[in-house]
């Protein structure tokens, strides 16, 4: 284990030469820092032809988008690498490959995905990947089933819950999803045009109770090893391929959280498309987002139930029909968490370009109001929405 120091570009090249496991490490000569997230340094390591060969990622001891005033655990780098290694074991086709990691230096080397595109950017441009939603559902079904009580031995599962304890990163989620938007925290960020809508969130007692229940579930249900931050900016896509990255929020939590966060980001795009593409041009894309949501859930639910039928190790949980019953609760949880994702990405600390890059102010505010209204509806109505068809009908009714 190495002592921590912040890597320079030259350090990153040297590190990749030593630990990436390439047959020709001497060809690596340059590094390009490309980190555009909130937390980390990310270097593409280039050869003499300017081709990126691997990626070196290092955690900083603070929140990058805020600065040193917000210190942050370096152990998140270990958890990220080990979460991705576990997920790769069960779903290698859709998980970025980790080539090396060092917990002391808070660094990992991962495969380069330059031949693929970040899904959020593709959605913003109106480009459609017909297999992406189903592939994401497959990733979620496999990673969540194989790390759940359906498959893991109770002793192994309890040990893994401890290994993936991630209290500092979980607190960020707990605050940004369930507390800040409903309490007027200084971390919130939104335009004055949204003030009345935001005040309405803070003063709605039914909404506050529903959010409290979602937070309590997040705090107490260690159902499976979650990615913990599965949004369209942490997913790479190509014509027939999808790969998930960035699992530093990984921990054992409620399965519905990963599902809901994924659906929520598709709905953020749904809300923003009229402002990004224009009303007429956005219609087809919005319809496709609704079908993406349907396909994501169907792929997850069908995959989970098929795995449960063949691979459940617990004799009690193997009772015919129990996996289906379990997924009913996962669905309800997912809709609630989807709603919190829509709200926190609109008025909280960490926004999304699906909404923020709408150039026309009036249209941007309309898209943001839509996201808030849709989020509130989903949180409150989650127990009464039976399936994906009912969800799509509710979304259409909401505008």
pLDDT tens across 246-299, in order?
Answer: 999 999 999 999 999 999 999 999 999 999 999 999 999 999 999 999 999 999
Helix axes 388-397, 361-381, angle to 10 degrees: 140
Higher per-residue pLDDT: 36 or 330: 330
Q: Distances from the Cα of 360 to the Cαs of 355, 357, 365, in angstroms? A: 11, 9, 9
Domain at 9-111, CATH from 3.40.50.720, 3.40.50.880, 3.30.200.20, 3.40.50.10320: 3.30.200.20
> Which residue is it, tokens 């031949």?
115
DSSP-assigned states of every residue in 94-125: GBPPEEEEETTTTEEEEE--TTSEEHHHHHHT
CATH 3.90.1200.10 in the chain: give the residue spans.
Answer: 117-397
Average pLDDT for the chain: 96
pLDDT at 181 over 70: yes
Over range 349-371, report the average pLDDT.
98
Q: For the segment 71-117, what is each residue's pLDDT rounded down to a tens digit?
A: 999 999 999 999 999 999 999 999 999 999 999 999 999 999 999 99
Average pLDDT estimate for 132-147? 99
pTM higher than 0.85 = yes
Compute the average pLDDT of residues 302-329. Answer: 98
136-151 average pLDDT score: 99
CATH number of 117-397: 3.90.1200.10
- For the chain, give the number of residues: 399
- What pLDDT band is residue 186 in, cutting at 50, 70 and 90? very high
Q: What is the mean pLDDT of residues 130-140?
A: 98
Local confidence band at 69 (pLDDT 50, 70, 90 cut-offs):
confident
**Could you tell me where in the chain the CATH 3.30.200.20 domains are found?**
9-111
Q: Would you say residue 38 has pLDDT above 70?
A: no
């Amino acid at each position: 284990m190495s002592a921590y120091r912040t890597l320079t570009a030259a350090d990153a090249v040297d590190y990749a030469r030593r630990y990436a496991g390439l047959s020709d490490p001497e060809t690596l000569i340059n590094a390009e820092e490309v980190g555009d997230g909130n937390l980390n340094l990310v270097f593409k390591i280039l050869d003499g032809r300017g081709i990126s060969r691997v990626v070196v990622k290092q955690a900083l001891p603070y929140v990058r988008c805020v600065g040193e005033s917000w210190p942050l655990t370096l152990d998140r780098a270990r958890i990220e690498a080990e979460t991705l290694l576990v997920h790769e074991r069960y779903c290698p086709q859709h998980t970025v490959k980790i080539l090396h990691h060092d917990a002391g230096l808070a660094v990992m080397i991962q495969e380069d995905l330059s031949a693929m595109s970040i899904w959020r950017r593709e959605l913003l441009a109106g480009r459609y990947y017909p297999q992406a939603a189903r592939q994401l559902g497959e990733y979620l079904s496999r990673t969540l089933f194989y790390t759940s009580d359906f498959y893991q031995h109770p002793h192994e599962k309890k040990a893994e819950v401890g290994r993936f304890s991630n209290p500092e990163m979980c607190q960020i989620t707990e605050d940004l999803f369930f507390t800040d938007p409903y309490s007027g925290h200084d971390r919130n960020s939104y335009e004055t045009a949204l003030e009345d809508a935001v005040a309405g969130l803070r003063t709605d007692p039914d909404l506050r109770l529903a959010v409290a229940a979602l937070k309590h579930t997040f705090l107490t249900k260690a159902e499976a090893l979650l990615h913990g931050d599965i949004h369209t900016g942490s997913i790479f896509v190509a014509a027939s391929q999808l790969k998930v990255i960035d699992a530093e929020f990984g921990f054992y939590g409620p399965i519905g959280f990963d599902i809901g966060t994924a659906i929520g980001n598709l709905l953020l795009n749904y809300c923003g498309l009229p402002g990004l593409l224009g009303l007429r041009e956005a219609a087809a894309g919005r319809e496709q987002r609704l079908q993406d949501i349907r396909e994501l859930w169907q792929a997850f639910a069908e995959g989970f139930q098929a795995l449960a039928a063949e691979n459940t190790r617990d004799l009690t949980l193997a009772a015919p029909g129990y996996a289906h019953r379990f997924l009913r609760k996962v669905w309800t949880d997912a809709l609630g968490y989807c709603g919190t994702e829509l709200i926190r990405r609109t008025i909280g600390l960490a926004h999304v370009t699906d909404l923020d890059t709408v150039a026309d102010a009036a249209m941007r505010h309309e898209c943001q109001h839509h996201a808030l209204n849709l989020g509130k509806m989903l949180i409150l109505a989650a127990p009464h929405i039976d399936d994906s068809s009912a969800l799509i009908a509710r979304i259409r009714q909401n505008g």
